[in-house]
């Protein structure tokens, strides 16, 4: 959708996955039930897009991604990634993609970081020149050489995830799937990881598919948001469009003089605004479809002694919370 005339790098059509769950009732009998994890999902992803895949626990995100990476075979529908059917051409597909799980590592714990990089170089048959170029690029952005001679088991969680992401980029994949990459990490390392992903995306045009429950991460990194709910795709659009469409609410927070409380309350009720207050701090919500924000702000300033005013529009988090609870 960034550049519609370019061919999609991922094309998913009417994808569905049903799991068969066998439950033993007694020694002789068992019962098989079906779990429809993904139903009739279709979308296309274009080279260089950063797409946030979100949804509640158990919504079907991982199952969809597992079909895109070739780990699972769909029950029906099709999925094409870089011109390949991932579950039919797993080895070929693996050369074009990388998968990073925040909770798990693809590195060998007993080897050093350097040895893990060299091992993957051999597995993906990366040439010496490309290896050097990529290691230098990753050093520039992620300072991986600091841990070069460390055994993986001695790394902290943050250092390990950072190194895992760097390692995932060593064969210059076209697509990188990240599943909760920054879970449990402190704000500094999280920021470093997200900035590096942004840079890699810009410089190398790597397509990024990110699954996370951290909507701040989505807000910072993603161009586009796909929401999955009970196995179905319920939202797919550019992040900016989502903000534009749904952020018609504006919250104004300010401090006021307590003796003006009653007059202020009358003003707010007359304007039919929603409000909350605690001590001398007031928060009012303006629905821009129904109320004129400029007029209200100007009247507030002229009629009351207002201090420290903040105007906040809805964030991706507010909007998604609204969509989830609909
Ligand atoms: N191998 C499996 N066998 C049976 N059911 C499964 C299997 N894998 C997933 N499911 C079920 O399919 C549904 C979707 O699971 P999935 O892991 O795709 O959700 P998710 O959106 O990734 O959730 P989370 O955010 O918790 O990781 C859930 O009800 C889950 O219990």
Domain count, the chain: 2
Ligand 1 in reach of 19 Cβ (< 6 A): yes
Among 200, 220, 244, residue at a domain's last position: 244
Overall residue count recorded for the chain in this entry: 326
The DSSP-derived string for 55-122 is -STTSSHHHHHHHHHTSS--SEEEEEETTB-TTTSHHHHHHHEEEEESS--SS-TTSBHHHHHHHHHH
Nearest residue (by CA) to ligand 1, atom 25, is 57
For residue 212, report the distance from its CA to the centre of ligand 1, in Å: 14
Residue 151 DSSP symbol: B
Ligand 1 in reach of 102 Cβ (< 6 A): no
| Residue 71 CB-half CA count within 13 A | 10
Query: Do residue 173 and residue 252 come from a single domain?
Result: no
Angle at 124 between CA 120 and CA 130, to 5 degrees: 90
Among 244, 278, 312, residue at a domain's last position: 244
Please state the atom number of ligand 1 nearest to the C-alpha of residue 65: 18
Ligand 1 in reach of 83 Cβ (< 6 A): no
For residue 81, report the distance from its CA to the centre of ligand 1, in Å: 22
Ligand 1 in reach of 63 Cβ (< 6 A): yes
Examine residue 313 and state whether it is found in any structural domain, yes or no: yes
For residue 58, report the distance from its CA to the centre of ligand 1, in Å: 5
Query: Do residue 60 and residue 209 come from a single domain?
Result: yes
Nearest residue (by CA) to ligand 1, atom 5, is 19
Report pLDDT for 116: 96
Examine residue 264 and state whether it is found in any structural domain, yes or no: yes
3-state secondary structure of 19: strand
Examine residue 35 and state whether it is found in any structural domain, yes or no: no
Ligand 1 in reach of 58 Cβ (< 6 A): yes
Examine residue 91 and state whether it is found in any structural domain, yes or no: yes
Among 244, 265, 284, residue at a domain's last position: 244
Query: Do residue 276 and residue 231 come from a single domain?
Result: no
Report pLDDT for 321: 76
The answer to whether residues 151 and 112 touch, using CB atoms and an 8 Å cutoff, is yes
Query: Do residue 181 and residue 304 come from a single domain?
Result: no
Please state the atom number of ligand 1 nearest to the C-alpha of residue 35: 5
Nearest residue (by CA) to ligand 1, atom 12, is 37
The answer to whether residues 193 and 185 touch, using CB atoms and an 8 Å cutoff, is yes
Query: Do residue 312 and residue 175 come from a single domain?
Result: no
Query: Do residue 65 and residue 104 come from a single domain?
Result: yes
Please report, for the domain that includes residue 308, its CATH number: 3.30.70.600
What is the full per-residue pLDDT of the chain (326 aa) written as tens digits?
555 568 999 999 999 999 998 888 888 888 889 999 999 999 999 999 999 999 888 999 999 999 999 999 999 999 999 999 999 998 899 999 999 988 888 899 999 999 999 999 999 999 999 999 989 988 988 888 999 999 999 999 888 998 999 999 999 999 999 998 888 888 888 888 898 899 989 988 999 999 988 888 888 899 999 999 999 999 999 988 887 777 777 888 999 998 999 999 999 999 888 898 888 899 998 887 788 888 898 899 899 998 888 888 777 777 777 777 66
Query: Do residue 55 and residue 128 come from a single domain?
Result: yes
Query: Do residue 217 and residue 312 come from a single domain?
Result: no
Q: Is 119 exposed, middle or buried (0-12, 13-18, 19+ CB in 10 A)?
A: middle
Q: Name the residue range of residue 254's domain.
A: 248-324
For residue 257, report the distance from its CA to the centre of ligand 1, in Å: 53
Ligand 1 in reach of 35 Cβ (< 6 A): yes
Query: Do residue 149 and residue 273 come from a single domain?
Result: no
């Amino acid at each position: 959708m960034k550049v519609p005339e370019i061919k999609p790098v991922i094309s998913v059509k009417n994808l569905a996955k049903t799991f068969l769950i066998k439950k033993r009732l007694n020694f002789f009998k068992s019962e098989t039930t079906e779990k429809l994890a993904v139903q009739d999902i279709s979308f296309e992803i274009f080279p260089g897009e950063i797409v946030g895949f979100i949804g509640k626990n158990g919504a079907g995100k991982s199952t969809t991604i597992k079909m895109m990476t070739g780990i699972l075979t769909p029950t029906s529908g099709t999925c094409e990634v870089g011109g390949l059917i991932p579950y039919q051409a797993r080895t070929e597909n693996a050369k074009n993609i990388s998968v990073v799980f925040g909770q798990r590592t693809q590195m060998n714990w007993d080897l050093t970081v350097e040895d893990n990089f060299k091992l993957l170089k051999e597995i993906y048959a990366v040439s010496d020149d490309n290896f050097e170029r990529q290691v230098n690029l990753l050093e520039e952005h992620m300072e991986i050489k600091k841990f070069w001679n460390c055994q993986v088991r001695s790394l902290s969680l943050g250092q390990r995830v950072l190194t895992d992401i760097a390692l995932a980029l060593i064969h210059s994949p076209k697509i990188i799937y990240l599943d909760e990459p920054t879970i449990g990490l402190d704000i500094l390392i999280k920021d470093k990881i997200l900035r590096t992903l942004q840079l890699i995306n810009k410089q190398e045009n790597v397509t990024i598919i990110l699954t996370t429950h951290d909507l701040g991460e989505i807000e910072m990194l993603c161009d586009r948001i796909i929401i999955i709910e009970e196995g179905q795709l319920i939202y797919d659009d550019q992040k900016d469009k989502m903000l534009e469409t749904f952020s018609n609410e504006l919250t104004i927070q300010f401090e006021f003089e307590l003796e003006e409380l009653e007059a202020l309350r009358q003003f707010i009720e007359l304007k039919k605004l929603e409000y909350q207050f605690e001590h001398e701090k007031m928060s009012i919500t303006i629905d821009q479809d129904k109320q004129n924000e400029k007029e209200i702000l100007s009247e507030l300033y002229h009629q009351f002694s207002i201090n420290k005013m903040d105007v906040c529009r809805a964030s991706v988090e507010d909007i998604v919370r609204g969509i989830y609870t609909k």
